[in-house]
Amino acid sequence: MNIFVINSGSSSLKYQLFRLPAEQPLCSGLVERIGLDNSVITHKVFPAVGEEQVVRRTLDLPDHRAGLREVLQLLTDAEIGILQDPNEVEAVGHRVVHGGESFAATTIITPEVKREIKRLFPLAPLHNPANYVGIEVAEQIFPQAQQVAVFDTAFHQTLPEYAYRYALPEELYREQGIRVYGFHGTSHKYVAAQAAAYLSNPQARLITVHLGNGCSMAAVRGGVSVDTSMGFGPLAGLVMGTRSGDIDPSVIFHLIGQLGYDAEQVSNLLNKRSGMLGLAGNSDMRDISRALEAGDERATLAYELYAYRIKKYIGAYAAVLNGLDAVVFTAGVGENDALVRRLVCQELDFLGIELDEAKNATRSPGIREINQKESRVKVLVIPTNEELEIARQCEELLSTKD
C-alpha cells in the first residue's frame, strides 16, 4: 500500500512516502521556515540500489499551501520523482493536532470530519488550519486516495479523570468539553514504544520530552500516557518557539483590563509573539544557540528558562510515575541540542539521572544512551518518526475497513 504522510507543523512541513509493509520510506523531506525569509526544502529519495539523492532548494514560501505544492512537484519530477501518476498513492495520512472530544482514534476523512476539524481551529490556531490546508490540497492532488486523519490528542485519551479535568464548574466540561487533551501524541507514542523495546521492559516508567518548535512532555507507564504538559490547546506547559507555555492567568486579566488588549490580541501574543521569540528575539533554536555562543544575554536567559521549565516537569512526572526508568529526548531540539539536554539533566542526580557529557556531545544515528554507566535512570535520545507511526495507523485502519 502506497501511503503518503503529511505532517504540518506550525512553521514546518515534514513528509514521507511509504510502500507498506516495508517501513523504509521511498522518499522523505522537510520544509523549514515556512512564512519566514529563505524557506528551505530538503528532499531525499531512497533508491532500491545506490546512494540516496538529496535536493535542497531555498525559496520564499509564504504559507503551507505553497510549501506543499513545491513538495508535490518534487514527487512527480521527471528526473527524481517517485510517482508518475498521483493516483499511485492509495492513502494520504494527515497529522491533525486537535481532535477535541470528537476523535479518539485514527479516522477516515469525510466532509463531516473536515467540518469538525475546522470547528476546532480556535483550540489549535497554529496547527489545525495548516493541517486542514494539507487535507484540502491533498484531496486535489490525490483525488483517488483515501484521506486519513491521525490525531495528536488520541494517545492521551488514557489520562485518568483527575489528570485531564480542570477545577472549573462541572458544566464547562460536560457541555463545552473543556479539559486536558494533550498533543504530540503520535510522537510520544512512537518514542515510548521504542524506549520500552530498547529497555526490554514493556512496563517501563518513562518521561518523553518532545522538543521542536512546539514542545511537550508526557508521563508514560507501560505504554500508556498518564499525564502530559499541554492541555486544552497546545499552548500550555513548556516554553516553545513562539508560544509562552504555562502562564499565570492573572497576566491575561492584566493585559485585558489594564493594557486594553482584546481576546484576539492576547491569543496572538501568547501563541505567536512569546516563547523563545519573546525572550531572545528569535524562534529558531539554532539562531539562538549562535547568539548564546556570541555572549548574548537574552539568549542565555532564554536557554536557562527553557531548560528550567523542562526540569520542573521531570520532577513532577517522576512523582506521578512513582519512580523513573528513562528520560527520552526527541524531535528537532531534543535530538540535536546537546546544551539543552545538559542544562535539563544537571543537578538531577538525586533522581538517579547522571548525564555523560562526552556521550551527550557525540552525534550518531539511531537510539543513543547518553547517561553515565552507573546512572540509575537511562537518558535516551530517540529520533521520532511520526510519519511512520501515522502510516502504520493508516494501514491498520484501512486493512480493518477492507
From 37, 85, 152, 337, the catalytic residue: 152
What confidence category does residue 7 fall into, taking pLDDT thresholds of 50, 70 and 90?
A: confident
Please give the residue range of the domain that contains residue 61.
2-151
Neighbouring residues of 344: CB distance < 8 A, sequence distance ≥ 6: 209, 307, 310, 311, 314
Answer yes or no: is 37 a known binding residue.
Answer: no
Query: Residue 265 sits in a domain of what CATH number?
Result: 3.30.420.40
CA dist., res. 272 & res. 264, Å (int):
11
Annotation says 63 is catalytic: no
198 and 99 share one domain: no
Residues 279-292 have a mean pLDDT of 95
Report the alpha-carbon angle 17-23-24, nearest 5: 65
Answer yes or no: is 63 a known binding residue.
Answer: no
| Selected residue with higher pLDDT from 276 and 126 | 276
Tell whether the model's pLDDT for residue 48 goes beyond 90. Answer: no
What confidence category does residue 69 fall into, taking pLDDT thresholds of 50, 70 and 90?
A: confident
238 and 347 share one domain: yes
Provide the percentage of residues in the chain whose pLDDT is more than 90.
76
Which range among 7-11, 22-26, 285-289 shows the weakest confidence by mean pLDDT? 7-11
Q: With respect to residue 266, please indicate whether it lies within any of the assigned structural domains.
A: yes
Q: 348-391, pLDDT tens digit by residue?
A: 999 999 999 999 999 999 999 999 999 999 999 999 988 899 99
Q: What is the pLDDT of residue 148?
A: 97
CA dist., res. 204 & res. 209, Å (int):
15
**112: exposed, middle or buried (Cβ count in 10 Å: 0-12, 13-18, 19+):** exposed
**Phi, psi angle pair for 299, to nearest 5°:** -65, -40
Answer yes or no: is 230 a known binding residue.
Answer: no
Strand partners, 155: none
261, 266, 268, 270: CA torsion to nearest 10: 140
- When the pLDDT of each residue in the chain is averaged and rounded to a whole number, the result is 93
Q: 186-240, pLDDT tens digit by residue?
A: 999 999 999 999 999 999 999 999 999 999 999 999 999 999 999 998 899 999 9
Answer yes or no: is 233 a known binding residue.
Answer: no
CA dist., res. 24 & res. 108, Å (int):
24
Answer yes or no: is 373 a known binding residue.
Answer: no
218, 254 contact by CB (below 8 A): no
Tell whether the model's pLDDT for residue 253 goes beyond 90. Answer: yes
Q: With respect to residue 157, please indicate whether it lies within any of the assigned structural domains.
A: no
Amino acid at 245: G
Tell whether the model's pLDDT for residue 9 goes beyond 80. Answer: no
C-beta atoms surrounding 118 within 10 Å? 12
Answer yes or no: is 320 a known binding residue.
Answer: no
Q: With respect to residue 396, please indicate whether it lies within any of the assigned structural domains.
A: no
105 and 205 share one domain: no
Answer yes or no: is 273 a known binding residue.
Answer: no
Q: How many domains does the chain have?
A: 2
140 and 231 share one domain: no
Tell whether the model's pLDDT for residue 91 goes beyond 80. Answer: yes
Answer yes or no: is 334 a known binding residue.
Answer: yes
91 and 228 share one domain: no
Q: 127-185, pLDDT tens digit by residue?
A: 888 889 889 888 988 889 999 999 999 999 999 999 999 999 999 999 888 999 999 99
CA dist., res. 2 & res. 181, Å (int):
31
Q: What is the pLDDT of residue 402?
A: 60
Q: With respect to residue 171, please indicate whether it lies within any of the assigned structural domains.
A: no
Q: With respect to residue 170, please indicate whether it lies within any of the assigned structural domains.
A: no
Neighbouring residues of 337: CB distance < 8 A, sequence distance ≥ 6: 211, 285, 289
* Boundary residue ending a domain (101, 133, 151): 151
109 and 253 share one domain: no
223, 193 contact by CB (below 8 A): yes
46 and 194 share one domain: no
Q: With respect to residue 393, please indicate whether it lies within any of the assigned structural domains.
A: no
326 and 222 share one domain: yes
Q: 228-250, pLDDT tens digit by residue?
A: 999 998 899 999 999 999 999 99
104, 189 contact by CB (below 8 A): no
CA dist., res. 359 & res. 357, Å (int):
6
Amino acid at 322: N
15 and 70 share one domain: yes
Q: With respect to residue 395, please indicate whether it lies within any of the assigned structural domains.
A: no
Q: 50-62, pLDDT tens digit by residue?
A: 888 999 999 999 9
Q: Give pTM, 2 decimals.
A: 0.86
135 and 211 share one domain: no
Q: What are the CA-CA distances from residue 357 to residues 49, 52, 339, 363 (Å)? A: 38, 32, 10, 12
345 and 262 share one domain: yes
C-alpha cell at 39: 524557506
* Boundary residue ending a domain (107, 133, 151): 151
Answer yes or no: is 332 a known binding residue.
Answer: yes
Handedness of CA 18, 22, 27, 32 (dihedral sign): positive
216 and 73 share one domain: no
Q: With respect to residue 165, please indicate whether it lies within any of the assigned structural domains.
A: no
Q: What is the pLDDT of residue 12?
A: 84
CA dist., res. 188 & res. 369, Å (int):
18
Burial 193-224 (b: 16+ CB within 10 A, else e): bbbbebbeeeebbbbbbbbbbbbbbbbbbebe
